[in-house]
Amino acid sequence: MKVTKAILSAIFFFCISISNSQTKLEGIIENVENQTPIPYAMVFLTNTSNGTLSDSLGRFSLEIPNGKHELIIKTLGFTTLSFEFDHNALQNKLYRFRLAADDMELSELEVNSIRDKAWYSNLEIFKRYFIGTSSNSEKTMLENPTKLVLDDQSIPRTLLAKANEAIVIENVNLGYKIKYILQSFEYSKSNFRVFYGGYALFTSDSTLSRRKNKQVEKNREIAYFGSSMHFLRAVYQNKVEEEGFLVRRLRKIPNINRPDDEELNAVAENFRLGRPTPYTFEEFARLRKLPKTIDVLEKDPIDLSQIIEEGEEGQMILKFDDYLQVIYQKAKPNQNYPDAHKLPNQESLIHFINGKIEIYENGSFSPPYDLLFEGYMGWMKIGDMLPLDYYPNPK
C-alpha cells in the first residue's frame, strides 16, 4: 500500500536578505501565474500543532524546532505544497512560495454531489476505517462530511475518498481539533485493507476546565504509550526494552501445502467447464482456504543494532526485509479491539515496504508511506492520533 505524495507542480524559491532569527521561517505565498499574494492559506508542519495562516498580503511567520520537517501549504483552488527540509538549512531570508492553480479542483467545486443512501452508507464505512472504532474514535466527530467526495464505482469493491479542502475533525477525548488535508483514501471490500494519506494540523482545545484537562491528558497518555510514535522514538533512543516493547523477527514463508493461484484458477475453470480435475470439489474448497504463507516467529528478541545503519549525514536508517512483531507489554488492548479480552498485551506487525526507512527523534519516518502496520497499530486510526510535538508529562 503506497501512494505518491502530491508535490506542487511548480515551486519557486526566491530569497531576499532580511534580519531574522534562524529558528523562524518567514515567507510569502504567491500565485505562480501573476505573482499576486495568496491570503489566508494554511501553513503548517504536518502532523503537528505548529501552524498558522498567511495574512492578507500572503505573508507568514512560523517558529521551527530542531530536526527535519515537512512544510505544508494549502488553500482552496491551488495544488497542495509539500516541502521537506532540515531546520539547519534555514537562513536569515524571506522565502517566496509560488503556487499553481489546480484546475481540476476548481472544476470539481462546481459539481453538486447527490448524497443518496449509498453515499451515507459509504460515509459510515469511511468513518470506520479513517477515524476508527476505538474508545477515542467513538467520541471523535467529522464536522464537515459533505466536503468528502466518496466513490465506490471507479474500482470494483473499493471505496475511494478525497476532499477539495481540509476536513475538520473534533476529537473530544484527546482534546484536539484536527484540520486534515486528505490526499488519498482507499478501502478494499475484498481483503479489508485500508490506506489513507494526508497532512494534519492539530489545535488543542483551550476552553477545557482544569478537571477536563486532567482527563484529556490521561487519555493522551493512554493513546501514546504503545503507539507507533512511541515505538519509533524508543528505537531512536535505544530504549525499546526499557519502554516496554518486545520485538521479534517474523518471517512469512510460502505454504507448500497450498497450490499457487495459477493452479487453483485452472482447477476452478475446469470445474466450470465440467473437465476432469485432480481434486474433488471439497478438496479444492479446502485448499483454496489455506493461507498462502506460514508465519515463523523467532523465539528470542531481535538485536535492533543488526538492522540499524547510520547514513552518510548521521541519519538513522532501519533496513529489514521480514516483519517485526512488536508487543507492548505494559498495556492491554483497548476494550473495542477485536477479541481484546483474550489478549494480554497490544500486539502488532510492522513491515518495511521497500526494505528501509529513515526514522527521526520525534517518532516520524521517511518515506512517509513505507511502513505497513498490522494488528493493534494498524487498527489505531485518526481517533487515536497525536501530533508529533506531543510528549507525555515526565513521571
Predicted confidence (pLDDT) per residue in 232-284, tens digit: 999 999 999 999 999 999 999 999 999 999 999 999 999 999 999 999 999 99
Percent of the chain whose predicted confidence (pLDDT) is above 70: 91
pLDDT at 201: 97
Q: How high is the mean pLDDT of the chain?
A: 89
Q: What is the pLDDT of residues 102-120, one digit of tens each?
A: 865 544 544 455 678 889 9
Tell me the C-alpha distance between 354 and 220, whole Å: 31
pLDDT for residue 9: 35
Residue 16 has pLDDT above 70, yes or no: no
Any idea which fold 15-108 has?
Immunoglobulin-like (2.60.40)
CA distance 117 to 191: 24
Cross-strand bridge partners of residue 319: 356
User: In this predicted model, what pLDDT tens digit does every residue of 300-316 receive, in sequence order?
Assistant: 999 998 999 998 888 89
> 355 in helix, strand or coil?
coil
Block residue for cell numbers 470439489:
281
pLDDT of residue 103: 66
Asked whether the predicted pLDDT for residue 5 surpasses 50, the reply is no
DSSP state of 334: P
Q: What is the pLDDT, as a whole number, of residue 311?
A: 86
CA–CA distance, 194 with 205 (Å, rounded to integer): 30
- The proportion of the chain whose per-residue pLDDT surpasses 90, expressed as a percent, equals 79
Q: What is the mean pLDDT of residues 57-85?
A: 92
Q: Quickly state the pLDDT bin for 18 (edges 50, 70, 90).
A: very low
- pLDDT over 60 (residue 294): yes
Tens digits of residue pLDDT in 192-241? 889 999 999 999 999 999 999 999 999 999 999 999 999 999 999 999 99
